[in-house]
Structure 1
Amino acid sequence: MTDSNTTNFINPSTFILLGIPGLEVAHVWISIPFSAMYAVAVLGNFSILFIVNMELSLHVPMYYFLCMLAVTDLVLCMSTLPKMLSIFWFNSREIDFSACLTQMFFIHCAAVTESGILVAMAFDRYVAICDPLRHSTILTNPVVAKIGLAVVLRGSMLILPHLFLARQWPYCGTNIIPHSYCEHMAVVKLACADIRVSSYYGLSVTFLVIALDVFCIAMSYIQILRAIFSLPTKDAQLKTFGTCGSHLFVILASYIPVLFSSVMHRFGHNVALHFHILMANAYVIMPATLHPIIYGVRTKQIRNRLLQLLTHKGM
């Protein structure tokens, strides 16, 4: 640390992101899988948006929600990976104080919004399987738009207090963030004040959002399973359950990394810091990378349309 980074100040103009502390010499090598996943995430999610927009048969609630998920994934990875890779490649560590808070907002707002979209997708599957005759009248385009707006507003309103609290704390002693991006707790831990309000609020939002959303998803799938097991044949049961397979894989890809990273950040005091940071980095890029792959592989309409585009270009 230099003297300029350890002198006392109030509300610094810039922060210094270290990347992955302890693994600085390996930054270039670490950047290879992250840059590859970033390329897959951007290309895959833009492909989902393009295919759904071009294919009229996909203009239904399930794929509208999938597009919302793709946009959220793009916001999450594009708000973090460019700066992260600039640290790994060019040692460009400085980030403006306001830019840091803006990045913090988009990261956490996108995470909460994505969780809400997964609930909406579970509701869509519930209506499609348990009340198929009313699916088109319940989930109309205006209703889908209102659900999308509601989950975005929920994410924004829950995360805005993070910014207000982080901005009001006095920062002194150091402006060095031992992280690859402006994660909420990594930033507020630099404050020379009692930050228990920020810590408790952040923890409450994380677990209450996940608990509430997982509960809603679980209730939907309990009803879905009851409807599936009431079908007369095994083939009908498997075929119907198969329509939920992609969503279930996406749920696992979304919740496991963020929950694991959040718990480790607060309670894994004996775990090496670089492992904390690697897990936190993985949680912002892994879901965005896996989601288009899961839907591309498991959804026949998307897979066929993508193959048609690739074949046509190849010809």
Structure 2
Amino acid sequence: MNHVFLPVRMGHHTLQNRLVMAPMTRSRAELDGTPGPLAARYYGQRAGLGLIVTEGTQPSDDGQGYLTTPGIYTDAHVAGWQKITAAVHAKGGRLFIQLMHAGRMSHPDNTPHHRQGVAPSAIAPNTPMFTMKGMQDIPVPRALSTDEVRQTIADFRHAARRAIDAGADGVEIHGANAYLVQQFFAPSANTRTDEYGGSIENRARFAIEVAKAIAEEIGPHRTAIRLSPGTAMWGIDEGAEGPDLYRYLVAELDKLGLAYLHLMHLGNEALLADLRKLWKQTLILNRPGRPREQIGNDVASGLADLEAYGQMVLANPDFVERLKTGAPLNDADPRTYFGGDAQGYVDYPALDEAISA
């Protein structure tokens, strides 16, 4: 495990260790998308990790899916994020804001403009979503026109610039977990007949153009992407061509010289090995449910440069120190994952607090 405690170079940044806080939706922003009053404390508590990837952050009104998720496209949003980046940097940490467009995973009651969700095609995910009125079925989204797809790319570019204005070290494009970018990949969500649908190359085009636009705007060393090959949730089915799409996509993205590729690995070891060979920059690997005793294995083997962890970091603000000392870990409380106040957000005890209690 000692490998993960060593500094590492990632693009233009030197990280203090090889452990990453994975992005986790917490739904504690203000109604206008400004990060909540406790967010700087929450992220600052966890700045001992080499890199923090923030919760999914919408790049536009259309991009919001869930209640009280943060945005990064208005002056108020920027001011809120500036407090967070300052708190993380004060402790020597690095922070990338994850840009997440929910696409069809949205409900009109959850967005500022209360409009129908948008997606590659007018196909509903056939799942309910929590709203202020309780659980409601997600309605059929409106298919983006070709011009609107290009405007959405411009929205990502604008949000990336605002993230840098807010002091972020970079942005991570959310291309995973059944949200808009991955919706373009999946034939079950994308039946388009223009240049963004049909062939592998066309279905990968949106992700590549978003990455290119952001890299042009803020630099490739500040641009990253998260992918989850093989995700089968909320109506996403990438089909038999799925692995080949990712081989093509990663090879094309590699040409851009991005800061890192963040993979949520779901078990296809052959595909993971291929993507590792195709990707020449930093690779972050997130294996959901990885037990403590396996932390560091992927870095030690050379399969990954960094490893990302979610729930363990959520519940342990001093995650790195606990690993170094062999101290026990707090258990995460699922009841407080989404929404609420300080409980289950900034009140998990650090090791010194737990010992003195």
Same fold, TM exceeding 0.5?
A: no
Report which of the two structures shows the higher radius of gyration computed on alpha carbons.
1
Which of 1 and 2 has higher RCO (CA within 8 Å, sep 6+)?
1
Q: TM-score, normalised by structure 1?
A: 0.29
Q: TM-score, normalised by structure 2?
A: 0.26
Q: Which has the higher helix share?
A: 1
